[in-house]
Amino acid sequence: MRILVTGATGTLGGALVPALLKAGNEVRALSRTRRESRGNVDWRWGDLISGNGLEDALDGVDAVAHLATSGRKGVGAVDIPGTRTLILFAREAGIRHLLFTSVVGTDRAAYHYLKYKLEAERLVTESGLGWTILRSTRFHQSLDQRIRDFSGLPVLPVDRSLPWQPVHTGEVAARAAELLGARPAGREIDFGGPEVITTDDLVKTWLRARGLRRPCLPVRYPGRVYAAQRAGDLTTDASPKGRITWNDYLFPPPADVSDDFASEHTASPTSPANQPEQDPDLRVYGGDEGYERPTRS
Ligand SMILES: NC(=O)c1ccc[n+]([C@@H]2O[C@H](COP(=O)([O-])OP(=O)(O)OC[C@H]3O[C@@H](n4cnc5c(N)ncnc54)[C@H](OP(=O)(O)O)[C@@H]3O)[C@@H](O)[C@H]2O)c1
């Protein structure tokens, strides 16, 4: 199957492209930056907001994995108008399956960013195309970055009442690849990390992993999204769920470097050795700073 991935250069896209290749698909990857196609990934230039490049990117494609987002600060610019434009072109191109990635809890806490995701979900469900919506909880990499942003402060403000369910993008990508290999589900599917932990656990494990010490000040984060999170609206009991914990992500097991270095490095797409930092086509873990890659000394 030939699959177009929007948001292929993003955190999840970096894991999904190799997962789709591993499952035997042909991958076309969309970006607003022109990139040279090499290996098995056919890069196409395009912009979801203007629609430029989309006709070419969708030509001859069977399915679309729509990951692109303008994020929490982008006021839904890609999530709503971009999704609308993509759907128009996808209908013209006769796409059989549109998989849209969303966030667990959009239906229960449709505020701020989640409001845009919910509206984009509606566009997808009413698109007339075969569709699947994969809602996941916060990615390890995204929380890692968020805590890093705060770590310059002398004291970390920590709301102990919040439950988090971090999930690994390699596992979200594997689930997305599995769903793309099946008929369009025509429903929303939740995918969460293996455990629900408090902000305290989240931050203290992160500080330990990064070798930092910071006093934590108990606070209560304001706003409706945090209130919904406090009430458990952003976590899920759905099965299957991920297996890689926050602790696993922050303390990856030491690589067992054997004599057969080559075979070890082709073990799986999530193998650290299969993620050369300079090759975005092969990268599975996005933003895995702090990970010691195995080297031969
Ligand atoms: N981050 C999380 O914790 C989390 C949790 C649950 C669900 N999700 C969902 O997972 C999906 C992927 O999130 P992510 O964190 O991997 O995203 P990300 O790292 O922020 O990447 C955003 C991607 O969107 C693309 N993009 C932005 N504007 C575009 C435009 N106008 N036209 C075409 N492409 C555009 C960018 O590509 P170029 O810059 O190359 O054009 C980039 O690849 C999203 O649907 C998000 O809502 C994320």
* Ligand 1 atom 46 nearest Cα: 102
Pairing of strands 197-198, 163-164: antiparallel
Q: Round to whole Å and give the CA distance between 54 and 101.
A: 19
Residue 219 burial class via C-beta count within 10 angstroms: exposed 0-12, middle 13-18, buried 19 and up: middle
- Mean pLDDT (the chain, rounded): 88
Total Cβ atoms within 10 A of residue 40: 14
How remote is the CA of residue 15 from the centroid of ligand 1, in Å?
Answer: 12
Q: How confident is the model at residue 282 (pLDDT cuts 50, 70, 90)?
A: very low
Residue 145 has pLDDT above 80, yes or no: yes
> What structural domains and CATH numbers belong to the chain?
2-252 (3.40.50.720)
pLDDT tens for residues 91-123?
A: 999 999 999 999 999 999 988 899 999 999 999
Q: To test the ligand 1 pocket, which listed residue (69, 121, 132, 236) has its Cβ within 8 A of the most ligand atoms?
A: 69
What pLDDT digit, counting tens, does each position of 175-215 carry?
999 999 999 999 999 999 999 999 999 999 999 999 999 99
- Which residues have CB under 6 Å of ligand 1? 6-7, 9-13, 30-33, 47-49, 67-71, 78, 82, 101, 103, 117, 136, 138-139, 142
Joined tokens for residue 230: 């406090």
Q: How far apart are CA 293 and CA 149, in angstroms?
A: 24
pLDDT, tens digit (0-9, with 9 covering 90-100), for 232-257: 999 999 999 999 999 999 999 887 65
**Greater confidence, 277 or 151?**
151
pLDDT above 60: residue 274: no
Distance of alpha carbon 92 from alpha carbon 99, whole angstroms: 17
Cβ-proximal residues to 18 (8 Å cutoff; 6+ apart), any chain: 173, 269, 274, 281, 282, 283, 284
Give residue 291's identity as a one-letter amino acid code.
Answer: Y
Closest CA to 50 of 35, 30, 65: 30
